[in-house]
Amino acid sequence: MKDTLKRAEERMGRRIDHLVEEYKSIRAGRANPAILDKIKVDYYGTPTPINQVASVSVPEARTIVIQPWDGSILKTINKAIQASEIGINPQNDGKVIRLNFPPLTEDRRKEIVKDVAKIAEGTKVQIRNVRRDAIDDLKKLKKNGDLTEDDLKDGEEDIQELTDKYIKKADQICKDKQKEIMEL
C-alpha cells in the first residue's frame, strides 16, 4: 500500500512540475527568458536550446537580449525565433538580438488568464486520474488478499488527502500566475 501511495505522490508531483513549466512559457507582458526554452536552433546539425549557444539576459523589464557566443549563428537564432509561436519580432543589430515585449492590453490579459485557468484545470484532471489509478491498484491488492477492508478504506482516505493537497497546490499556482498577468 505504501508503494501505491508513494507512486501516486510522485506522479502528482510531476503534474505540478509540468504545470509550472507550462506557465513559464506564457507571456505576461514582462520579459522572461523561459519563453525561449522551447525554441531550438540548428547548431552544426544539432537542434540546440538558445541558452546553450548564447547568453540570454533581461536588461529591462520588457526586453530580452540574446548575444550568441558564435556570431555566425545570429541569423539562425533570428529565424528560429521568428518561426516560433512567441509572437515577438526579433530585432537584430548584427551583434545581438533584442526581443521587446509590448505591454498587454486589458482584453489580452483576460484571455491569457482564461488560458491559465484551462491549463490548471487540465492538471487537476490529471491529478484526479492518478487518484483513480491508485485506488484501482489498492482494490486489486484487496482482491488478491494483500489488503484488508480497513486497510483499503485507510488507503483511499490517504490518497484523497494527497489529491486534495495537490489540487490545492495547482489552484494556488494558477492564482499566482493570474495575479502576475493582471498586474500592470
**Domain 33-100 CATH (choose: 3.30.9.10, 3.90.45.10, 3.30.1360.40, 3.30.1360.120):** 3.30.1360.40
Q: How do residues 48-70 score in pLDDT, each as one tens digit?
A: 998 889 999 988 888 999 999 98
CATH fold match for the domains 2-25+105-182 and 33-100: no
Q: What is the pLDDT of residue 174?
A: 95
Q: Per-residue pLDDT for 27 more than 70?
A: no
Q: How do residues 28-53 score in pLDDT, each as one tens digit?
A: 767 778 888 888 998 888 899 988 89
Domain edges within the chain: 2-25+105-182, 33-100
> 119: pLDDT confidence band, cut at 50, 70 and 90?
very high
Q: What is the pLDDT of residue 184?
A: 60
Share of the chain above pLDDT 70, in %: 98
pTM of the model: 0.72
- CA-to-CA distance for 118 and 166, rounded, in angstroms? 16
User: What average pLDDT is seen over the chain?
Assistant: 89
Architecture of domain 2-25+105-182: Orthogonal Bundle (1.10)
Q: What is the pLDDT of residue 161?
A: 95
Q: What is the pLDDT of residue 9?
A: 94
Q: What is the pLDDT of residue 29?
A: 67
Q: What is the pLDDT of residue 14?
A: 95
